[in-house]
Amino acid sequence: MTAPDVDVVVVGGGPAGACAAMVAARAGLDVVLLERGPFPGSKNMYGGVVYPRILDTLIPEWWLEAPVQRWVTRRSTMLLTETQAVTIDFRTEAWGAPPYNGATAYRPDWDHWLAGHAQAAGAQLITDTTVIGLIRDEHGAVVGVRTDRPDGDLRARVVIACDGVNSFLAKEAGLYEHTDAKHYTLGVKETLALPKETIDERFAVRDRHGVDIEIIGATGSVNGGGFLYTNLDTIAVGVVLKLPKLAAQAQRPEAIIAKMKQHPAIAPLVQGGELKEYSAHLIPEAGLTMMPKMVMDGMLVAGDAAALCLAAGIWLEGVNFAMASGMYAGEAAAEAVRGGDVTANGLQGYQRRLSDTFVLKDHRKLHRAPELVLSDRVQHLYPGMVANVVERMFRVDNPEPKPGLRRIVTQERQRAGVRRRDLLRDGWTGFRSFG
């Protein structure tokens, strides 16, 4: 058998790959990090906020050096109908000071920065190199990767696949039992340039403080959600769309964003923004339902490649799951290499770490949430019902006396065509998921 060239090959220089390479290299392993773009993050995009708490263990006081655009100190959840908006708005100064909570950041900056830490730890970063397949031994164990370079085989004791959503490596290895378009959403985003002062005024923030708005009811007949968040001198506005619905409705995603931008509650926020970038990316949104096997002989799968993306309505997280799973994969790989057993059994430390931490615990707890949030009732009936209830609560119909809230809710529920038992069932599901 050919001797391995290195201890660990990490495929993909995103947050998962960078953390995996960083941890494995710090453990003294010979690590190569392969990235297909010209630099880590060059082709990456996401639609939200990064929550880097997990970095506390990897990069102490990471906030002093991380390429952050704004610290999110305002979080809003917005329900929209054609003409109405109900917003729950929360702000805290605590999230604008160490140790911080969430931040907006450009992925080409963020991923580049993280990969720099992997390099500083001793991992060798090789860019412009695409992995096109796995090298396996006669027993089917992964023993390396094949790249698109001449003589491009690289043999390793452990391969960590962090090659993102649609992971070709996890699929080639047969770790995904089945894939279904209904497990994915398409995220599309416009980045609009506005002067910092304008953003500060429109969103009522100062300095490096920023806003993250999650929106339900803005995607028309296609189930999904909208988002709007502030960078330093740009804002990102976009939608996340359920794939089968998008295909069935034959609607263009950019048309859905354009419509959302015209909503009376959104238009004043984005007005005058100069389009700097339009980007799109698939998101693995189905959580536990779609997750592949993450451990096999000689290989681990982390990040989006392992569908570790939490899309649970009020929690929309991915980069933190990627960083954490990458970190645990790096630890498990180091453990396995040191122990001389890189079979699935030797690499089980990865699965154990995922199960014992938020990575899988959050997914288990919230496993019903993605389906609930993207269900037809939540998407198409509840926003209008809630908005009408609120409108009637605050409408002054003198000389009529104020109606009771219970009567309004009943009337609006009936008007929206929501059956009581469905409402109760969804409420119960929500309570069990989020409670």
Partner 1 sequence: MSIVVCLKWVSHPGEPHDSRFSGMSHADQSALEFALQQAESTGATVTAITVGPPGAEKVLRDALACGAHHAVRIEGPTTTSGTDVATAIADHITDARWVWCGDYSLDRGAGSVPAFIAAHLNAQQALGIIHASIEGDAVHATRRLDGGRRELLEVTAPAVVSVEGATARLRRATLAAVRAAASATIPVVSATTPMHRAEFMVRPYRPRARVLPAPEGATALERLRVLTDAAAASAARGDTVRLEPADAAARIVRALREWGYLAH
3-state secondary structure at position 40:
coil
- Nearest distance in Å: CB 234, partner 1: 16
The closest of 329, 40, 308, 4 to 161, measured between CA atoms, is 329
Is 133 a residue that touches partner 1 (CB under 8 A)?
Answer: no
Q: Which range in 35-43, 98-106, 292-300, 366-374 contacts partner 1 by CB under 8 A?
A: 35-43
Nearer to partner 1, 66 or 86 (CB): 66
- Nearest distance in Å: CB 163, partner 1: 17
Nearer to partner 1, 161 or 291 (CB): 161
Nearer to partner 1, 112 or 117 (CB): 112
Q: Which range in 37-45, 170-178, 192-200, 405-413 contacts partner 1 by CB under 8 A?
A: 37-45
For residues 45 and 231, what is the distance between their CA atoms, to the nearest angstrom? 14
- Nearest distance in Å: CB 370, partner 1: 35
Residues in contact with partner 1, shown as a per-residue x/- string from 103 to 122 under the rule CB under 8 A: -----x---x----------
Cβ-based burial of 71 (10 A; exposed 0-12, middle 13-18, buried ≥19): buried
Is 39 a residue that touches partner 1 (CB under 8 A)?
Answer: yes
- Nearest distance in Å: CB 65, partner 1: 17
Residues in contact with partner 1, shown as a per-residue x/- string from 55 to 94 under the rule CB under 8 A: ----------------------------------------
Name the one residue in this structure whose structure tokens are 């931008």: 261
Nearer to partner 1, 14 or 346 (CB): 14
Footprint of partner 1 on 146-185 (CB under 8 A): 147, 149-154
For residues 82 and 66, what is the distance between their CA atoms, to the nearest angstrom? 39
* Choice from 76, 77, 101, 124 touching partner 1 (CB under 8 A): 124
* Exposure b/e, 394-423, CB count within 10 A at least 16 = b: eeeeeeeeeeeeeebbeebbeebebeeeeb
- Nearest distance in Å: CB 22, partner 1: 18
Query: Contacts with partner 1: how many residues (CB under 8 A)?
Result: 16
For residues 405 and 412, what is the distance between their CA atoms, to the nearest angstrom? 10
- Nearest distance in Å: CB 94, partner 1: 33
Structural Rg of the chain based on CA atoms = 23
Nearer to partner 1, 128 or 356 (CB): 128
Q: What is the DSSP string of 91-144?
A: E-GGGGSTT---EE--HHHHHHHHHHHHHHTTPEEE-S--EEEEEE-TTS-EEE
Is 126 a residue that touches partner 1 (CB under 8 A)?
Answer: yes
**CB-based contacts of 111, cutoff 8 Å, min separation 6:** 13, 14, 15, 18, 40, 41, 44
- Tell me, letter by letter, the H, E, C secondary structure of 333-394: HHHHHHHCCCCCCCCHHHHHHHHHCHHHHHHHHCCCHHHHHCCHHHHHHHHHHHHHHHHHHH
For residues 317 and 50, what is the distance between their CA atoms, to the nearest angstrom? 7
Nearer to partner 1, 146 or 380 (CB): 146
Is 434 a residue that touches partner 1 (CB under 8 A)?
Answer: no
- Nearest distance in Å: CB 152, partner 1: 5
For residues 74 and 50, what is the distance between their CA atoms, to the nearest angstrom? 14
* Choice from 42, 348, 357, 375 touching partner 1 (CB under 8 A): 42
Q: Which range in 15-23, 95-103, 144-152, 211-219 contacts partner 1 by CB under 8 A?
A: 144-152
Footprint of partner 1 on this chain (CB under 8 A)? 32, 38-39, 42, 108, 112, 124, 126, 129, 147, 149-154
